Structure 1
């Protein structure tokens, strides 16, 4: 491509040369400004390279290409804001790839210990990947992580809450400014000796002394008077973050209302991450934005993912119903069947591991009888709390390899043993799976049991408001401090599966669906079927063959 200097030397007219120089300066300004608005600055040779490549493009095409390149540059996770020529060439190469990229997987199961960690950058107002700690498996980290994971969750909830319309009211030109609320820090209250009315504070609900609740944030802790409080929707447990509204007097915050932090729809949250892959998996970019995978997803209207919990492989009735399930789906295989523990109906003591190994070997023999199902379906196994793997700490690693070696050697990559919780990516869909009796634990440790409403609704709003699957104190539900990000529900996924002994349910909030398939043997062998193309949930059941 001929540059503007060569064009200028080929013209005999000074006027034409002047026009070309002016056009060139406008193009340079357009390119530089686009990168500057995204926090980047271009090297001179990088800018000239883009000018030469896009000089003959129309204004709309040029704008689209520049935006594509900026997105790919953001995904390169640079350590500085200056863009070199190598960064630009790599971004153009990736932008030009119109086929299904190698990292664009149709189905992928993501282990909890493979989920990347992101930190919120206050200056840039966006999330940046923590390269030092991402994908680093360390179950016994430094002591600072005991508080760091709570601080990370506080910052995550704070930045989301601060931009909610309640605290940043929108006004139209020529209209009167609406009254907005402002978030206070605890240190602001502690520094005041007089009464403060209409206070709203975001903090951690905790008991620093027995019988007295405090609201704690990074700046301090203030005692709470909850005698006149009105609780809004949600299950308020110790160590959950809440918005406390009331007045401050005599070094006590007299709370009139406790509210869960407002949830945020995915379209808003994703802006603060860019196009980087926050969900996990091999892809550098977020597969939710993949046009190729979106086409495949819509084309496969009959694709299904089945969810079953408490699959007791030592129970004759369960095995009989599983045979019926495999036989029924053999002609029309689903994309995946997700089996969740516990995988044995009762503890066997020191023989528990051997019994489970024998049970998986028997399951492999059964599955071998259905070749069509084996060819097209993936079988995912998520351990329960009584399955042998580790102490009752989240996230739990996959089942030990000596237990699963027989079924893996027989069925190969058709079976996937993963952690609890885990994440499943199907085309552009993001699915979070947890096997945990969460309803009982949340209700038992709630400081106020809801007087009205539906428990699954309260649970769903609590988890989305807290941005985590385990908003409980570490004494009630231990977590691996450095891997608490594996429990995050931010940005919102498409589907959250919480396999609980509570009755089955299906709920939806802001385009995020929550389901509980219930206990397979305790609910007359019922399970849930998810249809990704239409994003619908179907309740299914295996009929009783004895009738």
Structure 2
């Protein structure tokens, strides 16, 4: 066992271009000896990460460097956050950028994000989206180049990505070329594909569109022939999605999701045990909860009555919180609505003391302009309910939940209709509209792949809308009919507009990863 561990330690460091002195490798083997085989690789990745952040003068590491790394990792482990529930604000999510040279994601600390960023931030936004999809596509089995000398498999087709620069640099006709790039309309009625190396005009008259909703500014894999400065597309599809467990196998314990922990919660044994023990935990999702509407308030009372004996872990209520989100009385109605909701919650002591209430604003709720991500509803309107109900959080839109090892994203936006209105070609009828939408979001690794002039986004905070790696659950609180879909081990649900869908809502059981469709009797 000792020889096997030493060999694993030395090979792990060698893969990163590092080597160990004999006393350093001996010390590291002693530190890892009590660790189970399943966790050795995780701890090695963590130690190498810590070492690479240090200002090294040589690739040959001595005992002092290893001691410091072990100490830092041990301290981080002791301070591992064991909060079972965290609500993560969109403006606090770490901005990780893929470094193609080091083949890993690094925290972008060069520039501090701001709401009114320079024009460079807009360029970086699309570059970062491209690099996420590029590195993911290049690791897919269809695009990994065959190993020299290996026997070819007849049933496995291999593809090779080309850049736009490659097309523009040739004078001959090229057949069966595949390009990964962003769809743009640089001239009215003419579409182009763009990547970091350039742009080329497309001819999509004969193109076969695969499943998904194709809009401007989405990234596609275009296959076709290049001739006379025009790329004649025969097939148009999205880059392949990737389950989160594959992503984490490649990038280790990097915390993409956000929160107070430096490591991904998926690697926490404490949180995994807490999730296993708490079998009764559940999330209740409602959308368009009109607090100024008497019938909605009556239905909320019915809902709380039903759950009074077994309070859910979290109630997630999404806006709009007024049935008429305009007019001179909007502020007064909204403030009174939250006061009435506080009165209602206080009638059920079990729920008031045990359940966490999270409010996600809608596009027409009060806030500083309709730009994503949206900050929480202002405190001046919510002070009454916050003072009377102990567990209340007013979140941003979108927002994230870290429940034990589970990752949940909630996004309140009427995204379905906007995607369909702005698509190049309406999706075929072989799949439902929600299926096309879910495929688009999971393959684009983004909640809102619409053009920025259709749905504005703060350029520096575009990372708040990423869905990479894919979470366990995405809640698209949409005005569209309720639905439930799954793609690449990620569940995507829409609870539907509460008053418009005959008072339907969704219940999620994290321990079983089960979604229940629920409805209140009329």
TM over 0.5: yes
CA distance, structure 2, for counterparts of residue 247 and residue 146 of structure 1: 31
Measure how far apart 1:157 and its partner are.
0.6
1:113 and 1:94, CA in 2 relative to 1: closer, same or farther beyond 3 A?
A: closer
CA contact (8 A) 1:74 1:276 kept: no
CA contact (8 A) 1:463 1:471 kept: yes
CA distance, structure 1, for counterparts of residue 490 and residue 427 of structure 2: 23
1:366 alignment partner, one of 312, 321, 344: 344
Q: Does 1:233 align with 2:211?
A: yes
Secondary structure of 1:353's counterpart equals helix
CA distance, structure 2, for counterparts of residue 28 and residue 503 of structure 1: 57
1:65 and 1:167, CA in 2 relative to 1: closer, same or farther beyond 3 A?
A: closer
Tell me what 2:121 maps to. Answer: 145
Q: Which 5+ residue runs of structure 2 have no aligned equivalent?
A: none
Secondary structure of 1:350's counterpart equals coil
2:382 alignment partner, one of 404, 407, 429: 404
Q: Does 1:444 align with 2:425?
A: no
Q: Which 5+ residue runs of structure 1 have no aligned equivalent?
A: 1-22
What TM-score, normalized by structure 1, do the two folds share? Answer: 0.88
Q: Does 1:483 align with 2:461?
A: yes
Measure how far apart 1:93 and its partner are.
4.5
1:250 alignment partner, one of 228, 244, 257: 228
1:498-517 counterparts in 2 under 5 A? Answer: 498-517=476-495
Compare 202-211 and 283-292 and name the one that shifted more: 283-292
CA distance, structure 1, for counterparts of residue 463 and residue 274 of structure 2: 30
CA contact (8 A) 2:281 2:510 kept: yes
1:95-494 counterparts in 2 under 5 A? Answer: 97=78, 103-133=81-111, 136-168=112-144, 175-176=151-152, 179-412=157-390, 414-452=391-429, 453-494=431-472
CA contact (8 A) 1:467 1:490 kept: yes
Measure how far apart 1:38 and its partner are.
4.2
CA distance, structure 2, for counterparts of residue 77 and residue 517 of structure 1: 45
Secondary structure of 1:462's counterpart equals helix
Question: How many pairs are equivalent?
Answer: 512
CA distance, structure 1, for counterparts of residue 31 and residue 360 of structure 2: 55
Tell me what 1:78 maps to. Answer: 53
1:169 and 1:109, CA in 2 relative to 1: closer, same or farther beyond 3 A?
A: same
CA distance, structure 2, for counterparts of residue 63 and residue 451 of structure 1: 45
CA distance, structure 1, for counterparts of residue 118 and residue 217 of structure 2: 21
Q: Does 1:48 align with 2:23?
A: yes
Measure how far apart 1:25 and its partner are.
11
Compare 288-297 and 513-522 and name the one that shifted more: 288-297
CA contact (8 A) 2:142 2:157 kept: no
1:429 and 1:76, CA in 2 relative to 1: closer, same or farther beyond 3 A?
A: farther
1:170 and 1:513, CA in 2 relative to 1: closer, same or farther beyond 3 A?
A: farther
Measure how far apart 1:128 and its partner are.
1.5
CA contact (8 A) 1:149 1:484 kept: yes
Structure with max Cα Rg: 1
CA contact (8 A) 1:435 1:498 kept: yes
Secondary structure of 1:198's counterpart equals strand
Secondary structure of 2:407's counterpart equals strand
Measure how far apart 1:342 and its partner are.
0.1
Measure how far apart 1:366 and its partner are.
1.2
CA contact (8 A) 1:75 1:284 kept: no
